[in-house]
């Protein structure tokens, strides 16, 4: 389903992730196919339980057991050009991949940094794990360089996480993620724990670094304002599946899927004079032992009979795709 002429750095195909529980299986991610193009910012949007975080973790095989991939592949095409299936990688290859080729930053900077380790040592460790021959002095020089890009004074290297503010810690996190110059950055709700002004600064920084380090970014977030600002394309997830995948303009101005439409209508926009917010009734679906149907059907204002009995597939409609029986031929 990748567009012709555009290189993909990551190709997720028919990925399914499930967790066994006592009463059945939770299908956290189901049949997800998603290309990530080189140099873009892809927003992965959805509410809690939609599977976006699980999907993100699975790219680096960071899911905690008993969650496991039950099908599909994640093909990574790095700078060297070779294509490898991340899900087929052994432990050693994965350790090499993480940090060097693909990096990830998380939501809570407070718990992501080791409180007993100084900032400098964080960087030294990050470097030496992959390049064990690098001397400490050189590692610190590289850390200083990247701190400059992050807008942090080098005196902070000697400090410990508790001495830094939340925004600064989050910037250190990006620094650690980018110190080895990966080509893909996954960001899982990176600004959720930040104040709004700090968040805006962080967003600016992330865009600057993306250009400077020639990155591809997958931004996982439930914050529509954030993805509107940063993303080129957006994948909307619901019930473990991709509901819609399109350019950011199309998603916001011309959404196809009723869920996407519903989301757009219920988020307040400070620039508009909104008298009413249209709310979606109901709550996200239970992902345990799902029946074949569209996961959004119970809440969908446009639900038809077929929606409740057959699961729609993600179909391409000229450069954008949606999984909805309103558009797909019911055969």
Residues lying near another protein in the complex (CB under 8 A) are found at 19-22, 47-48, 66, 165-168, 195-201, 203-204, 222-226, 228-229, 231, 248-249, 252, 262-264, 266-271, 274, 277-281, 283-284
β strands within 124-253, DSSP E: 184-188, 216-221, 233-238, 241-247
Is residue 64 classed exposed, middle or buried when 0-12, 13-18 and 19+ CB atoms within 10 A define those classes? Answer: exposed
Residue 173's closest CA among 158, 191, 154? 191
| Neighbour-count burial for 166-177, b at 16+ CB within 10 Å, e otherwise | ebbbbbbbbbbb
The half-sphere exposure of 291 on its side-chain side, counting CA atoms within 13 A, is 9
* C-alpha distances in Å from residue 206, one per residue of 24, 32, 202, 209: 41, 27, 6, 5
The candidate with the shortest Cα–Cα distance to 59, out of 9, 105, 108, 102, is 102
Beta carbon of residue 287, minimum distance to another protein (angstroms, whole number): 12
Shortest CB 266 distance to another protein, Å: 4
What separation, in Å, do the N-terminal and C-terminal C-alpha atoms of the chain show?
20
Instruction: Give the dihedral sign, CA 156/162/163/169.
Output: positive
Burial of 244 (0-12, 13-18, 19+ CB in 10 A): buried
Q: Which is nearer to another protein, 138 or 289 (CB)?
A: 289
Bridge pairing between strands 315-316 and 241-247: unpaired
Is residue 299 within 8 A of residue 280, CB to CB? The reply is yes
- 261 and 219 in contact (C-beta within 8 Å)? no
Contact 256, 246 (CB under 8 A): yes
If DSSP codes are grouped into helix, strand and coil, which group holds residue 236? strand
Instruction: Indicate the residue among 101 and 170 with the shorter CB distance to another protein.
Output: 170
Question: In terms of Cα–Cα distance, which of 181, 171, 16 is closest to 99?
Answer: 181
**Choice between 75 and 228, CB closer to another protein:** 228
Q: Which two tokens stand for residue 15?
A: 């990925």
């Amino acid at each position: 389903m990748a567009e012709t002429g555009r290189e993909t750095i990551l190709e997720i195909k028919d990925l399914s992730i499930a967790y066994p529980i006592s009463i059945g299986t939770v299908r956290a991610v189901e049949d997800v196919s998603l290309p990530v193009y080189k140099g873009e910012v892809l927003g992965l949007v959805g509410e809690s339980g939609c599977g976006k975080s699980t999907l993100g973790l699975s790219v680096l095989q960071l899911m905690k057991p008993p969650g496991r991939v039950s099908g599909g592949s994640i093909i990574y095409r790095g700078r060297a050009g070779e294509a490898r299936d991340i899900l087929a990688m052994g432990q050693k290859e994965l350790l090499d991949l993480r940090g060097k080729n693909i990096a990830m930053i998380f939501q809570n900077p407070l718990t992501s940094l080791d409180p007993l380790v100084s900032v400098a040592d964080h960087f030294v460790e990050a470097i030496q794990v992959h390049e064990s021959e690098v001397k400490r002095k050189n590692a610190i020089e590289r850390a200083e360089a990247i701190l400059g890009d992050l807008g942090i004074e080098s005196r902070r290297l000697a400090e410990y996480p508790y001495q830094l503010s939340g925004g600064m810690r989050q910037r250190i996190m990006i620094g650690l993620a980018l110190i080895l110059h990966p080509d893909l950055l996954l960001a899982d709700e990176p600004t959720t724990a930040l104040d709004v002004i700090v968040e805006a600064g962080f967003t600016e920084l992330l865009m600057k670094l993306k250009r400077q380090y020639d990155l591809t970014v997958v931004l996982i977030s439930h914050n529509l304002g954030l993805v509107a600002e940063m993303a080129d394309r957006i994948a909307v997830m619901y019930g473990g599946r991709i509901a819609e995948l399109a350019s950011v303009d199309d998603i916001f101005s011309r959404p196809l899927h009723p869920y996407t439409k519903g989301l757009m209508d219920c988020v307040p926009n400070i620039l508009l004079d909104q008298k009413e917010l249209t709310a979606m009734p109901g709550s996200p679906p239970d992902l345990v032992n799902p029946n074949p149907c569209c996961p959004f059907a119970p809440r969908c204002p446009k639900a038809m009979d077929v929606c409740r009995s057959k699961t729609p597939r993600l179909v391409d409609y000229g450069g954008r795709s949606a999984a909805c029986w309103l558009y797909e031929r019911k055969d």
